[in-house]
Structure 1
Amino acid sequence: MKSFYSFSVTVVLLSIILNVAQLTAQKAEQPDFTYDLGGKINETTLTQGGTLVIATNDGLAGIKPGVTNPIFNFTDYGRVKPEELFFVPNAPYVMVDQSGFGGISSKKAVIDYMSGKVLFSTESNGWKTVNSCDVIMPENKLVVSGQRRSKEQFANAVAVYDLNTGNQESFFILKGNRIVSGRPLLLKNNILLPTTKEIINIDMNSGNISWEAKVGGVKWMQEDDAGKEVYTFEGTNNGDTKISKISTTGSILWPKEQRVKGGVSHFEILPQGLAVVSDVDNSGKSGIAKLAASRSESKIAFLSAANGEDLWDKAPKTKGYVQHFYIMDDGILFGIYEGGINKISFDGNTLFKKPLKTGENIQVMAETPQGLIYITDSDANIVNLQSGDQVWEKPLKYKRADAVSSGFDTKNNRYLISADGELHAIDAKTGESSVLANSKFDGKEAPTGVEVRGQGILLTSDQNIMMLDWDGKQIFHNYYRAPGKSAFGAILAGVTAVATAATAMAAYNAANQNRNKLGQYTDRGENYADLGSGMAMASGASVAEMLKRFKATSATKNDRFILAKLDDGVGLVKVNKDSGLVTKEIVLKDKKPEYIVDEIGGVLYYQASNSIIYVYDLKK
């Protein structure tokens, strides 16, 4: 799951003398809420829904802003390690998985971190072992397979639970030593269950198997828009993927399975055929195995929906990994991480006059009224989406920058790109580029944020905040020497990385429908609201509450939070983005405080001791 947002946590040390206005800022050492978790705190995660989930030596707890006590305190499994947690992307659930030998889980629980309810646990539902456990959205169901206690013995079984209530809706015994091999697919009142031997279709009302398809070992499936055909994906021992097609009545529709090199990362069902991107990685191979393997890169194929055969005589060369992949009205647009953008028609013809050369790491590809804007680590331009011709007479080039950030100035109709110590302004109509300001920051930093405000342009980094007027003249610039990396910040970054990898594995491309569409280059902040669009069809109070947060305006949109050395010790200061003045101080009295700022909710979480969390309302 490509796509999830991250919260900004700014860590800085104040090294300037506060002026008179700043000295009048409110001090707030006393927390608004105090939570004693009992056991030693080992890990904290600020979830997409805004609940802070804390792993302790005693178990797992959840803190919700404004609620006096933890909304849940799950201690049934004792200490929960970071690798035993999985936060379901774009859903209000966290899974606890304490797997035993061979990865078979004997202890598994699903917790709604918005309501605090434990919706599922192996013990309370009679499971001896769990082979698979999948949250299916937007149906809001949980499908579990494994060994379940029956009348006489433990049998291989599958159960479906309603995640609004935690109640079991369906239960089936799997006969013939069937073992679930991948992620199930729900189709109205039926469940398509992939096993090591075949795919079986079970009527969830009666529990009867209505048909079987001899396609074994499938890892994930995707249905067409009409809900009448299903594509299946099976990994092979050498890392390749086998693709098959079946009907929702159990008929195998292709004469033979189709193979693509590597693992499938993008899949789109189109009227013209099937667009497939697969990634080959032989970095771990050596010797003869490496020589025999394909080059490490992405492969792009276009298959016939009728029989699975490749429709292109010659696949486009990538010479790297596909970083961006978008379906357009006239073809497929793709960008390569190593550099390069191209567009190919559905019948395999190149639409650009020649592949567009770009710098490495294409951070932005988006539509504008003038064409396609791209921004990389070393260059930027707008190109014609039909021909690939550059719109700006000269592409904006800069040295490979440590940080590149951008924004759009609607008032003056220009693009703003900060790179290599300079803020560049590009006229949206003419494409003319000029250096608006020198944006070199103190502390060997580069701007990581460009924000267009009411009175000018705000540039920010971890330790710097600078406001410029529309002509690029400096209104204020504050630099705060860093006291050292926040341990809490470091933990949060680690959890994010783990969650990203886990999301990619668990989602099985289920979110492909939205991520292959090229978006508009818009003002910052809309991405978070758009993140909730895929949940709109789901029901339930917790989902509704989470959607409200997705669509909410940041409670601290006018403030920047900075760790500073105050008169009474290290603390957090609330800095107004428009004036640069400090409007609130929270003394933490800790040289390296462990904390998280929830900028959407306007809340500071501070670990006051090994077992205690303080919560401060930053909106006051």
Structure 2
Amino acid sequence: MKLSTILKTMLCVLFIGNIAIAQKAETPDFRYDTGAKINEMTLTQGGTMVVATNDGLVGIKPGSNELLFNFTDYGRVKPEELTFVPYAPYVMVGQTGFASISTKKAVIDYMSGKKLFSTEENGWKNVMSCDVMMPQNKLVVSGQRTSKEKFAMQVAVYDLNTGGEDYRFNLGDPNRVGIAKDFSVTGRPLLLKDYLIVPTAQGLVAKKAKTGETLWDNKLKRVQWMVTNASETDIYAFITNDNKSNTKIYKVGTNGQELWEDEAKVKGIVTNFEILPQGLAVVSNTYNEGKSVFAGASESKIAMLSATNGEDMWDKAPKTKGYVQHFYIMEDGILFGIQQGGINKISYDGKTLFKKPLKTGENILTMAETDQGLIYITSEDANIVNMTTGEKVWDKPLKYKRADAVSSGFDAKNNRYLISADEKLFAVDAASGNVSDFAKTKFEGKEAPTLVDVRNGGILLTSDQNLTMLDWDGKESWHEYYRAPGKSAFGAIIAGVTAVASATGSVVAANSSVRNRIAKYDAQADRDADLAGGLAAASGASVAEMLKRFKATAATANAQFILTKLDDGVGLVKVNKDTGAKEKEIVLKDKKPEYQVDDRGGILYYKADNNTIFAYDLKK
């Protein structure tokens, strides 16, 4: 064969290969070359797609084909080195060295794409703590400085709107001769209006903002987190012992003095803490698996402590016999639900307000206010109870077999609750409590409805592969089923959920006033606004953009996207929720496509090859 013929053949093969690659998926609206092998994709709460690659971290925000950011300073970033700050537009990248001390740390605003902080650019050798403070929108960093500053132990505060340093100060004397005291930071600092309290191995240290002047210190060593009341007059500090069997709580005044004669002690780890006019509501969890029978049960403890002296105000704490799954502050007392089953209410002076604890099924999926009382829905039953007495409003609770998928909705037009379980849709009259078998809901593909959506034209039930519209009498108007492309395909599908950091005790406490308020049933907008927590009080362009997303109606509210096998290969179909009509097909062709759908933003992200992500505008 002639050389020219061989070259033509090779060029033809290459050309055909390139066509095959280009036609692997339908032409996208946006195409992103990450520049390195893609290892992980994370859809953030703010809507930016953050992609971990072999070279670093990439940010994608549809609107152009350009990357929002490409952070390659630290090379490949492992999943455990990423922290997405809950309800704030920031991702932290941290690489650790000896004794788990961070040698490198960076904070990226994933809404704007700006790198706001990095250890190497700000003169840090090692970082011991790095905490985003909301709603102040500040970053508090502690650790050891570089040799230029004699490896001094310092704390700094940075403005996350600009990335600029507000102020920085020493912990201890860097010029001290001999063995210096250990001023390592042991927990999350507390940022107040005019000063910062830092927990150290020597005790709490209060430093004046801007100047770093020491206002006071005390000997309360190794505090892990703190919380204050709205007026910042009372500070509560928490220390959990090494084996996590108990937590000590201290009250500190504005001059650093301990205000209680003796610390308060609760069993286990504090998971919820609320400062109330009546006292201090505390929930703590004990974990005694594998220990002796004398260690006690693994369960939640609920206590009400006096803000004056820290003493337990209740003669007898309520029994939980399980873990507190719901915890709500009411006008007349505390309402709580147990994961293992059971709901009770106790007054602030320790009296049981319900005539007797309410027995329920396990796993309380919903507890919410209605005009008739408190509705609860578990994996086994549902009912409405009187908020004052705990008596059941429905004569008989709605009971069903323990179901993996239980969903519900409220039909305001006909004043009834609709609950899907056991291949049935039950209708419960809100006024009378009468229960009827409204419709059968046997879905194809061994699925069960995961959503009850009351729409203008009827009642829509959906799952991954099924959609069924019922009229107001429970008769099926239409049904659409798209077979899954095969079990093997689902191994690579990434659920379109938001990745957030695990809540620490301090985060739990900071957001307790939001989390501990019971919502109205079917008040999605109210719940979405609450999700933002302290974000609403923060300032800054990225915060405002993120808040706007929280409050916006989902862009795909009127359509569902289903992965199935199409004529040209595996892909997604866009199905109209009101008519069942197929409005669009997006061919991906991969047998095991990796993708995520951003429901709020209306964007499909698809990993087209090792280095490339396609984005499709689903709103079209």
User: What is the TM-score of this pair, normalised by structure 1?
Assistant: 0.92
2 CA distance for matches of 1:537 and 1:558?
31
Match of 1:226 among 226, 231, 236: 231
Give, in whole Å, the separation in 2 of the partners of 1:548 and 1:524: 15
Of 252-261 and 515-524, the range deviating more from structure 2: 515-524
Deviation at 1:521? 0.5
Check whether the contact 1:488–1:596 (CA below 8 A) recurs between aligned residues.
no
SS at 1:509's partner residue? helix
- Cα deviation, residue 533, structure 1: 5.0
Check 1:152–1:405 CA distance in 2 against 1; reply closer, same or farther (3 A cut): closer
- Residue 592 of structure 2 is aligned to residue 595 of structure 1: no
Aligned position for 1:89: 86
Q: For residue 177 of structure 1, report the CA deviation from its aligned partner.
A: 2.7
**Do the aligned residues in 2 keep the contact of 1:266 with 1:509 (CA within 8 Å)?**
yes
2:265 is equivalent to residue 259 of structure 1: yes
Work out whether 1:489 is the aligned partner of 2:493: yes
Name the residue aligned to 1:554. Answer: 554
Contact 1:229 1:248 in 2 (8 A): yes
SS at 1:534 equivalent? helix
Secondary structure in structure 2 of the residue aligned to 1:35: strand
Which of 462, 471, 474 matches 1:472? 474
* Distance in 2 (alpha carbons) for counterparts of 1:486 and 1:168: 46
Give the secondary-structure state (helix, strand or coil) at the position aligned to 1:486.
Answer: helix
Asked if residue 48 in structure 1 is aligned to residue 45 in structure 2, the reply is: yes
The CA deviation string for residues 126-150 of structure 1, in whole angstroms up to 9 with x for no partner, is 1110000000000000000110136
Which residue in 1 is equivalent to 2:99? 102
Q: Which amino acid aligns with 1:331?
A: G
Which moved further from structure 2: 151-160 or 424-433?
A: 151-160
Q: Are 1:544 and 2:541 an aligned pair?
A: no
Compute the displacement of 1:249 (Å). 2.1
Counterparts of 1:523 and 1:464, CA distance in 2: 25
Q: In structure 1, what is the Cα distance between the partners aligned to 2:398 and 2:52?
A: 47
> Is 1:129 the equivalent of 2:126?
yes
Indicate the larger mover: 532-541 or 333-342: 532-541
- Aligned amino acid, residue 397 of structure 1: K
Number of aligned residue pairs: give it.
586
Aligned amino acid, residue 560 of structure 1: Q
The equivalent residue for 2:12 is none
Q: CA shift at 1:272, angstroms?
A: 1.3
The one-character-per-residue Cα deviations of 1:112-138 (angstroms, maximum 9, x if unpaired) are: 000001111111011110000000000
Which letter does structure 1 place at the counterpart of 2:298? Answer: S
Question: For 1:607 and 1:487, how far apart are their aligned partners in 2?
Answer: 14
User: Hey, what's the Cα distance between the residues in 2 that align with 1:361 and 1:48?
Assistant: 26
Counterpart of 2:156 (choices 148, 155, 159) is 159
> For 1:141, which of 117, 138, 143 is the aligned residue?
138
1:168 corresponds to which residue?
A: 165
| Aligned residues of 1:569 and 1:589 also touching (Cα < 8 A) | yes
Cα shift at 1:180: 0.8
CA distance in 1, matches of 2:372, 2:341: 22
Greater mean alpha carbon deviation, residues 198-207 or residues 542-551 = 198-207
Name 2:5's counterpart in structure 1: none
Q: Distance in 1 between matches of 2:508 and 2:401?
A: 38
Deviation at 1:102, TM superposition (A): 1.3
| Alpha-carbon separation, structure 2, partners of 1:57 and 1:478 | 41
Q: Match for 2:262: what amino acid? A: K
Among candidates 458, 466, 477, match of residue 456 of structure 1: 458
Q: Does 1:325 align with 2:327?
A: yes
What one-letter code is carried by the residue in structure 1 that aligns with 2:213? N
- Which secondary structure does the structure 2 equivalent of 1:543 belong to? helix
What is the deviation of 1:424? Answer: 0.6
Q: 2:108 aligns with which of 108, 111, 117?
A: 111
Match for 1:69: what amino acid? E
Question: 1:213 — aligned with what?
Answer: 218
Which residue identity lines up with residue 62 of structure 1 in the other structure? G
1: CA distance, partners of 2:388 / 2:355: 9
The SS at the match of 2:483 is coil
Counterparts of 2:414 and 2:233, CA distance in 1 = 51
Question: Closer, same or farther in 2 for the Cα pair 1:238/1:134, shift >3 Å?
Answer: same
Task: Give 1:48-447 correspondences, 5 Å limit.
Answer: 48-149=45-146, 151-175=148-172, 176-239=181-244, 240-283=246-289, 285-286=290-291, 290-447=292-449
- Cα distance in 2 for partners of 1:245, 1:488 equals 50
Shifted more, 135-144 versus 212-221: the winner is 212-221
- Between Structure 1 and Structure 2, whose CA radius of gyration is higher? 2
SS in 2 for 1:489: coil
Structure 1 contact 258–309 (Cα < 8 Å) conserved: yes
CA distance in 2, matches of 1:77, 1:237: 33
Give 1:530 shift: 3.1
Question: Is the 8 Å Cα contact of residues 130 and 147 (structure 1) preserved in structure 2?
Answer: yes
Check 1:256–1:508 CA distance in 2 against 1; reply closer, same or farther (3 A cut): same
Shift of residue 582, structure 1, vs aligned partner: 0.8
Per-residue deviation, residues 537-579 of structure 1 (Å, max 9, x unmatched): 1011100010110011111110000112111111111100011
1:573 aligns with 2:577: no
What residue identity is the alignment partner of 1:42? N
Letter in 2 for 1:113: Y
Partner residue in 2 for 1:14: none
Letter aligned with residue 618 of structure 1: L
How far apart are residue 526 of structure 1 and its match? 4.4
**Partners in 2 of 1:279 and 1:565 — Cα distance?**
47
| Cα distance in 2, alignment partners of residues 400 and 265 from structure 1 | 28
Q: Which consecutive residues of structure 1, in runs of 5 or more, have no partner in the other structure?
A: 1-27
- 8 Å contact kept, 1:220–1:508: no
Amino acid of the residue matched to residue 360 of structure 1? E
Q: What is the CA–CA distance in structure 2 between the aligned matches of 1:346 and 1:507, rounded to whole Å?
A: 24
Letter matched to residue 615 of structure 2: V
Structure 1 residues 53 and 505, CA gap change in structure 2 (3 angstroms): farther
Partner AA of 2:348 in structure 1: F
Residues in 1 aligned to 2:536 and 2:470: alpha-carbon distance in whole angstroms: 39
Residue by residue over 1:471-491, the C-alpha shift from the partner in whole angstroms, topping out at 9 and shown as x without a partner, is 000011112221234345347
**% identical equivalent positions:** 64
Structure 1 contact 222–231 (Cα < 8 Å) conserved? yes
> What CA distance in whole angstroms lies between the structure 1 residues aligned with 2:322 and 2:398?
23
